[in-house]
Amino acid sequence: MLRLSLPISTRLSPSPREKQDDASPGGLPYAHSSPLAGKPRLPSLLLPGLMPRHVAVIMDGNARWALRRGLPPSAGHEAGVRSLRHLLHLCSHWGIPVLTVFAFSSDNWYRPKAEVDFLMSLFERVIRTELDNFARDGVKICVIGDSSKLPSSLQKAIAYAEESTIRNSRVQLIVAISYSGKYDIVQSCRSIAQKVKDGVLQVEDIDEKLVEQELETSCSKYPYPDLLIRTSGELRVSNFLLWQLAYAELFFAQALWPDFGEAELVEALVSYQQRHRRYGTRSS
């Protein structure tokens, strides 16, 4: 396949984890050994005062990771869960208060039924089994997206997890399931339209601040990501957090999601800390 050269800011060497295919026992290679052991120290490359407050991740590449290893897509998704667990652990110890992950897009409903059913049961299993880890790491979980399409058992698991972790304050994990940026904006508009119809608001009151308050990310103290990371080399945002990404720094990693680990996160954070954010104004 022709190897195309990306701009330097997005060009990354292949993850060293791609070379660890045969590393683990049990025939299922995975990228992270004991990811939750101890408290990971912030690497000296990173400045504590310049850490992003909100990191968003498009976790792309599970199926390709599995295909390369001759495994079914389900193995890729399981490996992806381990990556997420590791990333969450790092965020909670490196002072990143909000992590949003794109777990399942509105478009993903069109995937084969078997894969969709597997993902729904995977989400439910992970949410239930991770509650102790959430308590230990101070994780508050929120799920955004159109929950009406989710199986009722998953809806119940989500509600229980959100309620159980509501007082946790070290890191907020926002999981986007059955979500799209356009859906979020439309539901915000519907909510505003209802308030106008009910006489709570006037049409003239509709402004950017009002829209922001009605978006699903208003569950967070920092609703707008400072940094968006997309794995697997695809250079697009795929209908994720469209409104909220207005000023986010974008980082495109070549690594497939199951191979995204501490080294790749450090690379993304170093890139973020070197950027000069102007928000349309001038620095001098």
Partner 1 sequence: MNVDGTSYDQGLYGSLCESMRKCIFKVLSVGPIPVHVAFIMDGNRRYAMKHRLSEGDGHKAGFMNLCHILRHCYDMGVKYVTVYAFSIDNFKRRPEEVQGLMELMVESITKLLEAESIVEKYGIRLYFIGNLKLLHKDVRETAEKAMKVTADNKRVVLLVCVAYTSWDEMANSMDKSCEEKLDEVRKGGGIQGNGEVIPRGVRVEDIERNMYMSVAPEPDVMIRTSGETRLSNFLLWQTGKTALHCPRALWPDLGLWDVVWGVVNYQRSYSYLRDQLHK
One-letter amino acid of 270: V
Which of these ranges, 20-28, 150-158, 233-241, 256-264, lies near partner 1 under the rule CB under 8 A? 233-241
Considering the candidates 21, 22, 60, 207, report the single residue annotated as catalytic: 60
Q: Residue 133 interacts with partner 1 (CB under 8 A)?
A: no
Least separation, in Å, of the C-beta of 126 and partner 1?
Answer: 23
Return the half-sphere exposure (C-beta side, CA atoms, 13 A cut-off) of residue 261: 18
- Per the document, the length of the chain is 284
Least separation, in Å, of the C-beta of 197 and partner 1?
Answer: 6
Pairing of strands 249-252, 227-230: parallel
Please give the residues from 184 up to 203 whose contact with partner 1 meets the rule CB under 8 A: 185-186, 188-190, 192-193, 196-197, 203
Please state, in angstroms and rounded to a whole number, the distance separating the CA atoms of residues 264 and 31.
12
Please state, in angstroms and rounded to a whole number, the distance separating the CA atoms of residues 61 and 230.
10
Q: Residue 235 interacts with partner 1 (CB under 8 A)?
A: yes
Figure out which of the listed residues 71, 211, 263, 266 binds partner 1, where binding follows CB under 8 A. 211
Q: Residue 39 interacts with partner 1 (CB under 8 A)?
A: no
Q: Residue 257 interacts with partner 1 (CB under 8 A)?
A: no
CA separation (Å) from 254 to 14, 27, 65, 185, 210? 6, 25, 12, 30, 37
The strand ranges marked E within the chain are 54-58, 98-105, 139-144, 171-179, 227-230, 249-252
Figure out which of the listed residues 4, 22, 34, 44 binds partner 1, where binding follows CB under 8 A. 4
CB 203 within 8 A of CB 170: no
Other CB atoms within 10 A of residue 131 CB:
16
Q: Residue 282 interacts with partner 1 (CB under 8 A)?
A: yes
60 assigned to active site: yes
Q: Residue 9 interacts with partner 1 (CB under 8 A)?
A: yes
Please state, in angstroms and rounded to a whole number, the distance separating the CA atoms of residues 186 and 191.
9
Helix (H), strand (E) at residue 188: helix 181-197
Per-residue interface string for the shown chain with partner 1, residues 93-122, x marking contact by CB under 8 A: --------------x--xxx----------
Least separation, in Å, of the C-beta of 68 and partner 1?
Answer: 15
- Residue from 183, 171, 175, 135 nearest 158 by CA: 175
Q: Residue 237 interacts with partner 1 (CB under 8 A)?
A: yes
Nearer to partner 1, 127 or 144 (CB): 144
Please give the residues from 164 up to 183 whose contact with partner 1 meets the rule CB under 8 A: 180-182
Residues that bind partner 1 (CB under 8 A): 2, 4-10, 107, 110-112, 180-182, 185-186, 188-190, 192-193, 196-197, 203, 206-208, 210-211, 234-240, 242-243, 245-252, 275, 277, 279-282
Which of the residues are catalytic? 60
